[in-house]
Amino acid sequence: MIYTGASIRELQLARGLITLRWTSIPLLFGFSLFCLDFLNLSFKFEPIYLLCCALAIFNVYFTVHVSLLSRQMALNSGMSTLKRGLVRIAFEPMSIIRKKGVLGIIAIPKTVIKLIVCMYLMLLEAMKDVPFNPFSIKNIIKTQIVVDLAIILL
C-alpha cells in the first residue's frame, strides 16, 4: 500500500482528535466538580468519574496506536523487516545478560515491551489490505468516534 498525502492528513486529524480528547477529559471532570460544589447541583459523581477514566484509557490506546501507524508508514519492506527486527529484539537481552551479568536482567521488561510493539506492528501490517479494517489509517478517526460514542452512551 502506498501512503498518499490523504493518509498523512488522516493521521494528523487522528492526532488532533486525540489532543482534543486529552483536553476535554479534565474539562469534563472539572466542570462536573464545579457544578457539584459551587452550583449545588445534585447528581452522582461516580458515572462522570468512570466516564473520564474510560476515555483516558482509550485515549492512551489510541495515542500508542496512532504512533505505531506512523511507524508502519515508515516501513519499507513490511513483514520481512519486522521479522528481522523481532529476531534481533528477542536475542538482544541474552547478549546484554552475557555482558553485564545480573544487571542485564533489568533489560528484560524493556525487551518485552519492544516485542509487544513489534508483534502489534506485524498485526497491523498483516491487516493492511483487509477491506474494512478499523485499525487502518483510513478508518482510525471513525473508530475513535465510535468508541467515544459507545463509552458516552453506555
Residue closest to 49 by CA, chosen among 66, 67, 70, 33: 33
Structure confidence at residue 4 (pLDDT): 62
CA-based angle 131:136:138, to the nearest 5?
80
- Domain of 13 in residue numbering reads as 5-153
Which is more confident, 152 or 116?
Answer: 116
For 90-103, letters b (16+ CB in 10 Å) and e give eeebeebbeeeeee
pTM of the predicted model, to two decimals?
A: 0.68
Write phi, then psi, for 55 (nearest 5 degrees).
-60, -40
For residue 131 the three cell numbers come to: 477491506
pLDDT in tens, 15-51: 888 888 888 888 888 888 888 878 877 777 777 788 8
Give the Cα separation of 102 and 55 in Å (integer): 40
Q: Is the pLDDT of residue 1 over 60?
A: no
Dihedral class, residue 51 (left if φ above 0, else alpha if ψ from -120 to 50, else beta): alpha
Determine which of 65-79, 97-111, 118-132 has the lowest per-residue pLDDT on average.
65-79
pLDDT, the chain, mean: 80
Structure confidence at residue 35 (pLDDT): 81
pLDDT in tens, 31-40: 888 888 788 7
Looking at the structure of the chain, the number of domains it has is 1
